[in-house]
Structure 1
Amino acid sequence: MPAKINRLKTSLKAGEVSFGCWLGLADSYAAEIMGGAGFDFLVIDGEHAPNDIRSILAQLQVLAAFDVDPVVRVPVGQTHLIKQVLDLGAQTVLVPMVESAAQARQLLRDITYPPHGDRGVGYAVSRAGAFSRNADYGTTADAQICLLVQVENLRGMAALDDILAVDGVDGVFIGPADLAADMGHMGDAMHADVQATILDAIARIRAAGKAPGLLSTVDAMTDPALEAGAQFVAVGADVLILGQTARALAEKWIARTL
């Protein structure tokens, strides 16, 4: 049996637009709720959420019951971390703070089996290979792994064209918050200079034949990004949804007693 078809990778290669949500609660019960919400993809965040390898596993397991594509964001682009999440069964990996073509090339080696890459061959005892039930996983896995790199500071932007020239990178994700901070506009991703940089990057990514993406919870950012060619767009985060809804509910009822 070959590796499962990666629907998100297939969709991005076809030029289709996918909408998703961030999972920052680091909890499988919350992930199960989000899994049935109807998004195209969900990002299990290992960078800014209190996730470890076991909590990532638990969320991948519950999301397997739903028609949604999980993406795992590793905390940093290191070979051993990428090896672990791939063996857990992740097929799409998002790597933060990519700043050079050399870094992108190493990440490509990290997701690829020998002789062309550095991924350890342990699928016979891994969830990815269905614990030896999927005998063809090793020969078919590489084609179904999707590598998404985050370009989110000025160093990355300066190297964007070089990163885009790396064959095998499926998409480039722009991080508005980090980019805004690096441009001197902390907390103001809607600043005109930041937005101009984002839209220019999206156009360049799309022109290079890669899939552009970003996280945007503001329509005033999301709509222009989609018009510029963004393909994988996270439009919310479970932490924000819970926090905002809870605050609004409390305010509604407490206000009545004042």
Structure 2
Amino acid sequence: MPVRMTLPPTLAARIAASDRPQFGVWVCSASAVNAEIAAGSGLDVVLIDAEHSPNSLESILAQLQAVAAYPVTPLVRPPFGDPVAIKQYLDIGVQNLLIPMVDSADQAEAMVRAVRYPPHGIRGVGSALARASRWNRVEGYLADAASTISLFVQIESAAAVEHVDEIAAVEGVDGILVGPADLAASMGLIGQQEHPDVVAGVMRSIAAAKSAGKPAGVNAFAPAVADRYAEAGAALVLVGADVSLLARSTEALADRFIGASRP
């Protein structure tokens, strides 16, 4: 007899069940080892990035398998909101998707259709061949697939902030995540994530999500900034990245042991 499987709760479900914000870390190295290390850290979320990282389907799959043994939620960001790529991500077992650069409700609605089977969407049916259903070892997967997936979209531009109320209100969008770096760049303030206009855009987006009854997340690597957005109602705060942590920690070692004597 095959082992019958149940899938873990989605990110949206875990946020809803928690009485505090969720805190997470990016894994941008395309390393299953780094993903597993992050998964055992005690943080809530491991965000596997394929937009700005050298990730393939195979490396994402390896990271999903590496973190599966830990009580952490994997969230995966594809390079862009392409329905064909989304179909492949879902089939390898991605349950929580973060779609970058969503600027309108129409884009958000297209992403909802991409993650749902007909008649409510356009996702191709390949569950018998796929890890998503654990090769048909998850009972009733086809009928219940939508409940096993959470869809978050990124608010990363001035246009997205302008339309954030409509984006957050789209049925099937489970939450938003604000990217202050790209938001600042779109406003002509590149590198100025703490500019008052950027902060106001983040705060507006958090408020819009709350009004829609949905969670908002934000990227905030500076602890004081992370605290501010959590206090403002962000339900997910991403507070670091594996590559940045490695870069800064090794630099600190160099400063400590070599310092000014380095040629």
Using the TM superposition, give the Cα deviation of residue 15 of structure 1 relative to its aligned residue in structure 2, in angstroms.
Answer: 6.3
Instruction: Tell me if the contact between 1:26 and 1:55 (Cα under 8 Å) persists in the aligned partners.
Output: yes
Q: Where do residues 64-103 of structure 1 align in structure 2 (5 Å cutoff)?
A: 64-103=68-107
Is residue 2:200 matched to residue 1:196?
Answer: yes
Using the TM superposition, give the Cα deviation of residue 226 of structure 1 relative to its aligned residue in structure 2, in angstroms.
Answer: 1.0
Using the TM superposition, give the Cα deviation of residue 150 of structure 1 relative to its aligned residue in structure 2, in angstroms.
Answer: 0.2
Q: Counterpart of 1:6?
A: 9
Superimposed CA distance per residue, residues 194-213 of structure 1 (whole angstroms, 9 cap, x where no aligned partner): 11221122112112111100
Q: Counterpart of 1:216?
A: 220
Superimposed CA distance per residue, residues 128-159 of structure 1 (whole angstroms, 9 cap, x where no aligned partner): 11123224211111112100000110111111
The residue identity in structure 1 corresponding to 2:180 is P
Is residue 2:131 matched to residue 1:131?
Answer: no
Is residue 2:61 matched to residue 1:57?
Answer: yes
5+ residue gaps, structure 2, are none
CA RMSD of aligned residues (A): 1.5
Instruction: Tell me if the contact between 1:151 and 1:160 (Cα under 8 Å) persists in the aligned partners.
Output: yes
Is residue 2:14 matched to residue 1:43?
Answer: no
SS at match of 1:236: strand
Instruction: Tell me if the contact between 2:10 and 2:96 (Cα under 8 Å) persists in the aligned partners.
Output: no
The residue identity in structure 2 corresponding to 1:59 is Q
Output the CA distance in 2 between the equivalents of 1:120 and 1:3.
22
Superimposed CA distance per residue, residues 18-70 of structure 1 (whole angstroms, 9 cap, x where no aligned partner): 11000001111111211111111111001001111111111011111111110
Given candidates 127, 131, 147, the residue that maps to 1:143 is 147
Instruction: Tell me if the contact between 2:210 and 2:216 (Cα under 8 Å) persists in the aligned partners.
Output: yes
Instruction: Tell me if the contact between 1:2 and 1:140 (Cα under 8 Å) persists in the aligned partners.
Output: no
Output the CA distance in 2 between the equivalents of 1:4 and 1:248.
41
Instruction: Tell me if the contact between 1:123 and 1:129 (Cα under 8 Å) persists in the aligned partners.
Output: yes
The residue identity in structure 2 corresponding to 1:129 is S
Using the TM superposition, give the Cα deviation of residue 11 of structure 1 relative to its aligned residue in structure 2, in angstroms.
Answer: 2.4
Given candidates 243, 248, 252, the residue that maps to 2:247 is 243
Instruction: Tell me if the contact between 1:3 and 1:144 (Cα under 8 Å) persists in the aligned partners.
Output: no
Output the CA distance in 1 between the equivalents of 2:217 and 2:99.
13
Output the CA distance in 1 between the equivalents of 2:122 and 2:250.
45
Instruction: Tell me if the contact between 2:151 and 2:175 (Cα under 8 Å) persists in the aligned partners.
Output: yes
Using the TM superposition, give the Cα deviation of residue 233 of structure 1 relative to its aligned residue in structure 2, in angstroms.
Answer: 0.9
TM-score by length of 1: 0.95
* Residue 15 to residue 228, structure 1, CA distance change in 2 (3 Å): farther
TM-score by length of 2: 0.94
Output the CA distance in 2 between the equivalents of 1:38 and 1:208.
30
SS at match of 1:26: coil
